[in-house]
Structure 1
Amino acid sequence: MIQVPRDDRSVIGQWWWTVDRWSLGAILAIMAFGVMLTLAASPPAAERIGADSFIFAKRQFMFLPLALLVMLGISLASPRHVRRLALVVFCGSIVLLAATFVIGIEIKGARRWISVPGLSSVQPSEFVKPSLAVISAWLLAQSRTERRAPGYLMSTVLVGGVLALLVMQPDLGMSVVVASVWAVQLFVVGLPMWVAGFGAVAGAAGMVGAYFLFSHVRSRFDRFLDPTSGDNYQVNTSLEAFMNGSLFGRGPGEGTVKAQLPDAHTDFVMAVAGEEFGLVVCLMILALFAFVTLRSMSRASKETSLFITLAATGLAVQFGLQAAINMASTIQLIPAKGMTLPFISYGGSSALAMAICVGMLLSLTREHAGLREAV
């Protein structure tokens, strides 16, 4: 057990006594489940493409330690440094996001990835999410504290621009996450009810428009509402995995459905957890995500700095919402959506982007973070 004296005034000492150690422990537990499930789910996926059985596991184990270092390093930062980092990450990821239309690789009809030698591919939108949440929080806080600051307008322009790029890819799932995080921040900052009502109507109109404009969105909604209207192979196979696993699972390595699920190591990794480790372990994973999200929002609500409250709330909602979308689509509570489960699904971009998100969250929810804010 780590022993750090309370009077230790070093950077590490101050960090240890101010960081939310309960949330940190929960995040490390999620990463541990990620290691276990990567080993369980990735070999069949590798064998299907004729590669070494553990090639996906080896790649993921290269990224997870790096993600852990990034997360811990950012959690040491002050709120001002978090804001500056968010600006740098946002500018870089926006450039890459726009570049996907020129040099991006197309997968299943969408251009969301850029091929990077030695790193497979990078999904820039993963890095846009956490950085935009922090920048939007700063703009909204500035507009609230300094009445003449055009924070609301600038925040709207930034979010609108990002949503436009995401819809053009198209990536409707990521668009929903970005819009939802911004909506929560607007709610927390205290916009008039008529603005909230207008936003709700606009969001509903956007979903209806997506249904009629994008054939893959229409297909997924139709198959969700009427499973007999199309191919539901992955969802049906996922549900079969949960039924096979029952309460305590078949045991590590004993699952068979993962050999039939094309995305068992990414979008449907929870199906592997359900079959091999059972409902009990799935509920433990769900509880860990819920704990980090709710505890972070609770700590954010007690902050005296509006910027910290808005930024931490946005990051916490993003973390929890992405996990909820992944798990809900796995058990057909919502239409199928390709979205990774943070720190558990295979994916280097996702792991590093989520490390930035959680590192910022841990930094902003440190005790007396408001006193460390240099405005």
Structure 2
Amino acid sequence: MTQFLITGSAGFIGFHLARRLLAEGHQVVGYDALTDYYDPALKRERNVILQAFPGYHFIEAPLEDRDALMRAVEKRPPEVIVHLAAQAGVRYSIEEPETYVSSNLTGSWAVLELARMFRPKHLLMASTSSVYGANEKIPFGETDRADFPMSLYAATKKGMEAMAHAYAHLFAIPSTMFRFFTVYGPWGRPDMALFKFTSAILAGRPIDVYGNGRMARDFTYVEDLVEAIVRLIGAVPVQGMRIVEKGVIDSLSPIAPYRTVNIAGGRPVELMEFIRIVETCVGKPARLNMLPMQPGDVPLTRADPSLLRALTDYVPNTGVAEGVAAFVDWYCAYNDVFAADAQSAAAPLVATI
């Protein structure tokens, strides 16, 4: 049994990870501000499920409240910290930049200070494929330059990685940064493309399709992501112990027990194909409103998963058709709707993909 601290435990990914660890018999302190970036009711319903486990202890507070964060773990010192709490969303960072600086930089610094004090066996922090920004090399590898962010969201996540490296070096904190690629699945965020596309198609509303549909994403099913994280928990970086495998470039720092790892399958799906899959699973056609690329978006994401495979003997493998079907089943059950009975509405939806 291991004592975990999971920030963002009522969030999409945090909920799935906490539920998996609790089901395996571990103890989890969940920490979440339950902010209103999207409807907090969904977060609270996730949290109710977690609170059914006797090993779950929940604290509602913002990351920026360092005293609350320290109090949350003083009686339950974490052996492993998984930092998932963040202000997400590329486009929202244009509208509300201050929230990104506060949560992703100041809040992450508070987590690093906690790690400096409690010295966990492993600190794992969630970054994003958005840090690769305008990188023209495909697929994205962990050692590629990530110096040209296209959104403040990406810039704050890159800043978090840099701060974590400094703490790993200064205080010998074993640290892994994982870069997520378009995570989707049941209990997903309402601002993400799959949630909004499904809602719109069921209700007969049009969907805004940016980049005129000429985009592709390396989609990662949430249960695959959780499996990768669970395996990475045991892959503690040790300074000087670099992975030496043919075709694998290790991102281990030369001066710190610190590593970055992509979590994705490396098989991008074109946006229009993704929409066709959603249409099939919902059982209704979509009404498309084709639009140019939005500021901050990139046309293609594709991960090189070779380092993840070398570290964990695992790569996400759930097909998009299977994953979308699971989401649509959940969505219809959660909202008590069915395609044949959906009511129509008028307003288009803007989706983050």
TM-score range (shorter-chain normalised) is under 0.3
User: Max radius of gyration: which structure?
Assistant: 1
TM-score, normalised with respect to structure 2: 0.27
Could you say which structure has the greater relative contact order, defined with CA pairs below 8 angstroms and 6 or more residues apart? 1
The structure whose residues are more often strand, as a share, is 2
TM-score, normalised with respect to structure 1: 0.26
The structure whose residues are more often helix, as a share, is 1
